[in-house]
């Protein structure tokens, strides 16, 4: 048995596809410490620099004083504490939906929600670049799965026609992301909404990388496009721009009631720690405030600076149109991506190499993320170093 895994690991190593944990001995931030060395951090999704913010820390500490550490039971038994409900009310109000429901992670939200919506003989239509949690949720549902090429509205339309013909009377669920996690581009949301209305399908949008970044007060792409009534479910995470941990679904009250009754990752799992819910609530309150909006606008200044300074060359000609805080620096070869990440680390920058299966084979890249916590000098230094190293 052990030999079997050793051989499989060796096979991964031979293809430069093996992965390792790296230990951070500091909090998240624009700088982190690894192996006793400070590195400028371009790897995290803490887009607004909230993960170590005093507002969140104080909210968590106060909740620990009042509620302790563990929730002790699943939400439906006795694990629903005041911070959980306060957070769900605030999320719904901020996202301007009727209701919201929190899960222990964004991954758990996808895994529980999709199978609660569709089942065998229903149809799920997924964008090719959807996150693993959405793919896994769709597979778990047992519904018939069809993938459409990335952001290809024409192909989605032909899948919808096929579903109407071959699965008439069955539920059809379209799933996509507002901002794609490894490419940083956006879904053509208005066109998707038109199609979903035309075919009577449901639309689920993963706003994981849009919340806190896009739309006034960081409400996400749905709100920015004024499509709250047309996107049936907005999935999000509390663990990226919101600086805490957990996932959520925002939607109609009926939908949320149904998920409370049907989403297995919600029902059969201990409630998230109340202190984490309290920290996430502090983050939502901050985002909804004028100060939060200022922080988001600062993030966009940093995004524009990165967009101006990152060299444009070869595989990276497309860099001109930044649509989010995610900048993929496409390398192609897996080993070359690892080497470039290692060279950057030598120079004092933490930028992860992303490889198959997170992205397609031969499409390895550095995934550079900008945050509002970065100084302009740090962004300049990274871009100069990439420019020098790629020569």
Within 10 Å of residue 53's Cβ, how many Cβ atoms? 21
Site string for ligand PLP, 158-197 (x = CB under 6 A): -------------------x---x----------------
Residue 40 in tokens: 């400028």
137 lies in the site for ligand PLP, by CB under 6 A: no
Contact 283, 276 (CB under 8 A): no
Beta-sheet pairing, 172-177 with 123-127: parallel
What number of chain residues touch ligand PLP (CB under 6 A)?
13
Output the CA–CA distances (angstroms, integers) from residue 129 to 134, 155, 227, 247, 301, in the order listed: 10, 14, 22, 20, 27
Q: If we measure between CA atoms, which residue out of 219, 185, 212, 367 comes closest to residue 297?
A: 212
Q: Is 168 a catalytic residue?
A: no
Q: Please classify residue 155 by burial: count the beta carbons closer than 10 Å to its beta carbon, then call 0-12 exposed, 13-18 middle and 19+ buried.
A: middle
- Candidate list 159, 240, 245, 324, residue with the active-site label: 240
365 lies in the site for ligand PLP, by CB under 6 A: no
- Where b means 16+ CB within 10 Å and e means fewer, 227-246 reads bbebbbbbbbbbbbbbbbbb
385 lies in the site for ligand PLP, by CB under 6 A: no
Q: Is 105 a catalytic residue?
A: no
28 lies in the site for ligand PLP, by CB under 6 A: no
43 lies in the site for ligand PLP, by CB under 6 A: no
**Which one of 119-127, 205-213, 272-280, 304-312 is the stretch in contact with ligand PLP (CB under 6 A)?**
205-213
**Which one of 7-15, 92-100, 101-109, 220-228 is the stretch in contact with ligand PLP (CB under 6 A)?**
101-109
Q: Is 361 a catalytic residue?
A: no
133 lies in the site for ligand PLP, by CB under 6 A: yes
Contact 354, 367 (CB under 8 A): yes
Q: Nearest residue by C-beta to ligand PLP?
A: 106
- Candidate list 159, 196, 209, 374, residue with the active-site label: 209
∠ Cα 149 332 18 (to 5°): 100
Q: Which is nearer to ligand PLP, 205 or 256 (CB)?
A: 205
Contact 264, 115 (CB under 8 A): yes
Site string for ligand PLP, 243-262 (x = CB under 6 A): ----x---------------
Q: Which is nearer to ligand PLP, 111 or 341 (CB)?
A: 111
Binding positions for ligand PLP, rule: CB under 6 A: 105-107, 131, 133, 177, 181, 206, 208-209, 237, 239, 247
Active-site annotation, residues: 181, 209, 240
């Amino acid at each position: 048995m052990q030999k079997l895994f050793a051989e499989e690991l060796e096979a991964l190593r031979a293809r430069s596809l093996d992965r390792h944990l790296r230990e951070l001995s500091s909090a998240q931030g624009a700088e982190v410490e690894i192996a006793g060395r400070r590195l400028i951090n371009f790897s995290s999704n803490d887009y607004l620099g909230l993960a170590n913010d005093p507002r969140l820390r104080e909210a968590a500490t106060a909740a620990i004083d009042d509620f302790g550490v563990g929730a002790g039971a699943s939400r439906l038994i006795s694990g629903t504490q005041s911070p959980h409900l306060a957070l769900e009310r605030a999320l719904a109000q901020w996202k301007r939906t009727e209701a919201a429901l929190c899960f222990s992670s964004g991954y758990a939200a996808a895994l529980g929600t999709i199978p609660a919506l569709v089942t065998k003989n229903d149809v799920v239509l997924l964008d090719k670049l959807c996150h693993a949690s959405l793919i896994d949720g769709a597979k778990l549902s047992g519904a018939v799965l069809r993938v459409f090429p990335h952001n290809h509205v024409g192909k989605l339309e032909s899948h919808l026609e096929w579903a109407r013909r071959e699965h008439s009377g069955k539920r059809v669920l379209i799933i996509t992301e507002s901002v794609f996690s490894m490419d940083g581009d956006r879904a053509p949301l208005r066109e998707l909404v038109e199609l979903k209305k035309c075919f009577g399908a449901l639309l689920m949008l993963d706003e994981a990388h849009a919340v806190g970044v896009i739309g006034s007060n960081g409400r996400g792409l749905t709100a920015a496009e004024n499509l709250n009534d047309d996107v049936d479910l907005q999935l999000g995470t509390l663990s990226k721009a919101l600086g805490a941990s957990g996932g959520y679904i925002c939607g109609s009250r009926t939908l949320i009631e149904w998920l409370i009754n049907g989403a297995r990752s919600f029902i059969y799992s201990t409630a998230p720690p109340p202190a984490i819910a309290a920290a996430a609530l502090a983050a939502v309150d901050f985002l909804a405030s004028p100060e939060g909006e200022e922080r988001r606008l600062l993030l966009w200044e940093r995004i524009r600076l990165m967009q101006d300074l990152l060299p444009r060359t070869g595989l990276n000609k497309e860099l001109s149109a930044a649509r989010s805080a995610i900048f993929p620096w496409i390398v192609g070869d897996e080993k070359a991506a690892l080497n470039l990440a290692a060279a950057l680390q030598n120079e004092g920058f933490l930028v992860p190499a992303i490889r198959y299966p997170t992205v397609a084979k031969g499409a390895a890249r550095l995934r550079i993320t900008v945050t509002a916590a970065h100084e302009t000098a740090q962004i300049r230094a990274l871009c100069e170093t990439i420019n020098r190293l790629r020569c």
